[in-house]
Structures are given as structure tokens and as C-alpha cells.
Amino acid sequence: MASQVLQKPAEPTISARLAKNVRRHVLERVIEFILMLAALSAVATTISIVVILLYESFTFFEHVSLWDFLTDTQWTPLFENAHYGILPLVSGTLTTSAIALAVAIPLGTIGAIYLSEFASHRTREIVKPILELLIGVPTVVFGYFALLFVTPLLQRIFPELPGFNMLGPGIVMGIMIIPYISSMAEDAMRSVPMSMREGSYAMGATRFQTAIRVVAPAAISGIIAAYILGISRAVGETMVVALAAGQQPNLTFNPMESAATITAYIVQVAMGDLPHGSVGYQSIFAAGLVLMLMTLTFNIIGHITRKKFRETY
Amino acid sequence: MATITSPVKAESRDLNFYYSSGHKALKGISMALYEKRITALIGPSGCGKSTFLRCFNRMHDLYPGNKYDGQIVMHPDNTNILDSGVDPIEVRMRISMVFQKPNPFPKSIYENVAYGLRVRGERNKRVVDDKVEEALKGAALWDEVKNRLHDLAFNLSGGQQQRLCIARALATDPEIMLFDEPTSALDPIATASIEELMSELRNKLTILVVTHNMQQAARVSDYTAYMYLGELIEYDDTDKIFTNPGRKETEDYITGKFG
């Protein structure tokens, strides 16, 4: 039957259709090309950033050895006797990020579970936009919030806490990241099919058991993606730490001390403390490269874990 | 009904059901499920057969605004499981369910079957091991999976997944098992194995099955109920329904004049 139908149409019909198809085909190609350009612009930007970082870092490493860069425990580009050891900046970045994540991951996950599994439709419609509003608050506002509100509050509990410290900005960064994590993790959990939940309820499970034992594991790859996004945000965050952590490179993991992060250093130098072309100025590219490698590492780890836990249903 | 030899396990009494939209999906259904018998619900799409089945484990409670009116009484203890004072979780502990599409959890085969025991707080590994084995044997799946109990359940075929869901439902020793079109997503061979399994389970528990497939109802069930537009049109021995139905509507449906 099918083959007969295919043979049937007469010659003129086919060519008339083909003629139309040519125009449509060209149009399709044009649209495809425009779309490809849009996609390529993002890729091209990324590649050029990497190239510039590598190129400028290269001139930096002509003056400072890679060994010193990785092992020196002092970062003092502004001093007469300049040291270029990245470790103090890395420790500041890791400490503030760890504090932020210690706040954001538990609260973000609990928030996501609540919104996805417990909140009524109306509550969710009210709470979610408010949470997402937090994403829109400029980070400089969070920076002053850390410096002028959270740190003084913490000083009531820890009187010896200096005005610039890593704890305050770390916590505020965590609060800032919560909506990213909760919103993404909630989307992941909500996309778990209802049949999976029904299966759990039908076994006599409670809401909480269903959320923890069935829905969260089913959504784990999306939840991990949310965590990775949170980590990248924390590591790359600039204003909060630049304002409230003290901008003093300090090799310490103690949250009660002041320190500088990689991003805070870059912003400090880029604002004009060092003349263009000097070794100190070039150092921001090396610092930027380290930052990029750190986020890349987290992204790769996240990608691997996500693949490992990937669930299909 | 001619050949009732078994006591009543559960019965609905003048059951009406309203969805949150206000739609009245069940209209005064009164019928009994007999112990260790298979009762099939047939009827065209939208006739309320799945709605009726899902009343038995209070599945409608999951969605706000749904309303039951009437009773489903379980025997021998005479509990009205629709009573607002009855915890739906307690009901689901006694009445388990197998769904239309296999819906294993994102866990290992073992943990899928152990799920019901875990949510009941069973911690003893020996008890869980034994129950899992017994349930998988009961679902005729043990031989196929005994060497890979800790594989992810999604790696099983569709028919195996559905038998896993039956094993999961069996592991907690339910009194009644509900099957909501359990083979509609399966190929004919997997369907045959599920039907065979249902016949075997009949020795242990009471079964209520919704099916789109009239031949399936004729093959597996002892009693058949024909529903149409939320009403119970006819309920009788399966043989009688398919050979000599009492109502014209039933005859039209089973002979394919309609539906």
C-alpha cells in the first residue's frame, strides 16, 4: 500500500513542490546560520578570554617563576619587596566559599524540598518569586549588608572579631546563593514524574519519606547541577568579599580573620592601584587564570558526579 | 450472583466521588470484592473505573479538593477506609497498588522491593533479605535478578519492571492489591506473564484490576463489573458477563457495538 501511494503523484506536482522547497530551504539555511552565529559568539568570547588570560599570564611568568607563584606564602605585589605567592588568595577564596556553601547548600536544599513537595500551590506562587527577587539584588548591596549589618551582629557573639573578616561576607554570600540553589533544585524535583511519587505514597510512605527517599534521589543530577552553580557563584563572587573581607592577602583558613580572595585582588588592581604593564598588573591575569581553573575543576567534578548519578525514567 | 463461595473482603456502599473541578466521577457505586478472588473493572475511557480503584487506597487524597461521599468498608474489621478519621497511610499499608506504567524508584532492585519495609521502619537485615526474596519469588522475578539485586531497577525490561513493582507491592503482605491497567504499557509476552502472575496471587490475596482489554478481564478475573459514565451498570460472574450479560448496555460494550 505505502509504496503505491509514493509512486502515484504526477510529474508536475513534484516539480511545483520542489520549486517551493528551494525557497524554504534557503530561508532555513539563513536562519540556521544566524542561530549558529549567536551560539558561536558565546564560544568565541570564552575562547578569547582563555587566550588573553594565557597570553598575559605568560608575560607574568617571565618575571615570576611558576614555582614561586605556587609555593610562596605571601602575596604582596604592592610592597617594595614584592612576593607573588597565590596561596593566600586561594585560601581566602576557599574559606569564604566554604562558609557560603555551608549556609547555601543545606538551606537551599531544604527550601527546594519544601517548595517542591510540601508547599501548597499558592504558597509556592508567592514564595518563589520573592526568593528569585534576591537574585536581582546587586551584589554591592550584599557587600554593605555584610560589612555594616552582619559583621557587627557577629561581633556581639564574637567580640574579638575584626571589622573585616571572612565569616560575615561568607554568610552573606551564602544567603545570596540560596535562591540559585533552591530554585534550580526545585525545578529538578518538580520535573520528577508524579507517577514516581504516587508509587511511593501507595507503599504507605509519608510525604517526607517520599521527598527524601524517592523524589530527591530521582532529581539528584539536577540537584548536583544546582550545587555546582552555587559553587561557581561563590568562588567567583567579587563585591561582597572585596567590601567586607578586608582585601589583605593572608594565608589562613580561619574565618575570624581578614583576607583577600582572588576576585577581590583582581578588582583592587584593576581599579588602578598598579600601573599598567607592571609585573603587579600582569599578576591579575595569572590570578584570573587560577580562578578559571578552579571553577573549571568544580564544573568537571560536577559533570562527572552528575553522570555517575544520572537517572533516567 | 450464582457462585459466591467466598466471604466479602471489602465493599463500597453508595460511593460518590467528586474531583476538585466539581465533576462527579462516581455515582452511587455499591459493589463487593470477594476474598481471594479477582474482580475486573471494565468500561470505556472516562467511565470512572480507575477513579473507583484509586478510592481503595485513598490515592485521591494526594490532590487537594477531591471529595469522597459514601463508604468503602473493609472486612473482617468493618473499617470504613474513607472515614476522615482513618489515616490514608494505614489504608495503603493494607492495600497496595500496581500502576499502569511501571514506576520503579531510582534505586537498586533490592531497595525497590525493600521500600515498603523501610518506610515501615524495618531495620533487621535478615527480615528484609527474607522478605525481598519471598516477594521477588512471588512475582516470578527472583531467578532473573537474584545475581544482580543491587543493579539499578531502570536496567530491567518493561515487563520485568512491572513484575518488580508487583514484588514491591507484595513485600508488605497486603490484604488487597489494586492493578490499574497493569499491562497497557507492555508487549504481549510480558502481558501474559503478568496475567499468569495475577492468577497465582489469587491464592494469597484479593485483587481488583482495571483493564481496557476485555479479553484480559475474561481471561483472568472471577467477577467483572461494567461501568459507564460513573455508574456501575452490571456486576456478575465473569463467565456470565461475557456469555450472557443481563443488561443491553453491557452486551453492546462487550460485543464491540460501542466503546
| SS3 labels along B199-240 | HHHCCCCEEEEECCCHHHHHHHCCEEEEEECCEEEEEEEHHH
Kindly list the residues from chain A whose CB atom is less than 8 angstroms away from the CB atom of residue B169.
202-203
Peptide bond into B76 cis (omega under 30): yes
pLDDT at A156 over 80: yes
A291 in the same domain as A190: yes
Q: In terms of DSSP H, where are the helices of B39-157?
A: 49-55, 88-94, 109-119, 125-138, 142-145
Question: Where do the domains of chain B lie?
Answer: 8-254
pLDDT at A3 over 50: no
Kindly determine whether residue B168 and residue A203, on different chains, have CB atoms separated by under 8 Å: yes
Partner residue opposite B103 with nearest CB, options A199, A206, A209 = A199
pLDDT at A30 over 90: yes
A232 in the same domain as A103: yes
Percent of chain B scoring above 90 in pLDDT: 58
pLDDT of residue B254: 87
Which band of pLDDT confidence, cut at 50, 70 and 90, is reported for residue A1?
very low
The region of weakest confidence among A40-49, A148-157, A299-308, B75-84 is A299-308
Q: What is the pLDDT of residues A40-64, one digit of tens each?
A: 999 999 999 999 999 988 888 888 8
CATH of the domain at A239: 1.10.3720.10
Set of cell numbers at residue B67:
471529595
Q: What is the pLDDT of residues A208-261, one digit of tens each?
A: 999 999 999 999 888 998 999 899 889 988 888 888 888 888 888 888 888 888
Q: How far is CA B66 from the centre of its chain?
A: 20
Within a domain: residue A2? no
The region of weakest confidence among A187-191, B54-58, B252-256 is B252-256
Q: Averaged over B22-39, what is the pLDDT?
A: 92
Kindly determine whether residue A203 and residue B165, on different chains, have CB atoms separated by under 8 Å: no
Q: Is B124 helix (H, G, I), strand (E, B) or coil?
A: coil
A232 in the same domain as A294: yes
pLDDT at B30 over 90: yes
pLDDT of residue A6: 54
Which band of pLDDT confidence, cut at 50, 70 and 90, is reported for residue B2?
very low
Q: In one letter, which amino acid is A25?
A: H
* Selected residue with higher pLDDT from A19 and B151: B151
Partner residue opposite B99 with nearest CB, options A120, A195, A214 = A195
Kindly determine whether residue A201 and residue B62, on different chains, have CB atoms separated by under 8 Å: yes
Angle between helices B109-119 and B158-170 (to 10 degrees): 30
Within a domain: residue A272? yes
Q: In terms of DSSP H, where are the helices of A114-219?
A: 121-136, 139-145, 151-157, 167-190, 194-202, 207-209, 216-218
Q: Averaged over A130-158, what is the pLDDT?
A: 90
| Interface predicted TM-score (ipTM) of this complex, two decimals | 0.91
Kindly determine whether residue A203 and residue B115, on different chains, have CB atoms separated by under 8 Å: yes
Bridge partner list, A13: none
pLDDT of residue B207: 94
Q: Which helix (H) or strand (E) holds B41?
A: strand B38-42
Instruction: Find all residues with CB under 8 Å of B127, minimum gap 6, and list them.
Output: B117
CB contact residues (below 8 A), chain A span 292-311, against chain B = 311
Distance, CA of B39 to CA of A215 (rounded, Å): 33
Q: Averaged over B163-192, what is the pLDDT?
A: 90
pLDDT of residue A34: 95
Within a domain: residue A5? no
Total structural domains within chain A = 2
What Rg value do the Cα atoms of chain A yield, rounded?
26
A121 in the same domain as A156: yes
A261 in the same domain as A214: yes
Closest-approach residue (CA) in chain A for B101: A195
CB atoms within 10 A of CB A86: 24
Q: Averaged over B84-112, what is the pLDDT?
A: 91
A139 in the same domain as A17: no
Class of domain B8-254: alpha beta
Domain that holds residue A23: 10-63
pLDDT at A148 over 80: yes
* Selected residue with higher pLDDT from B34 and B4: B34
Angle at A90 between CA A86 and CA A92, to 5 degrees: 120
pLDDT of residue A249: 86
What average pLDDT does the structure give for chain A? 86
> What's the whole-model pTM score?
0.81
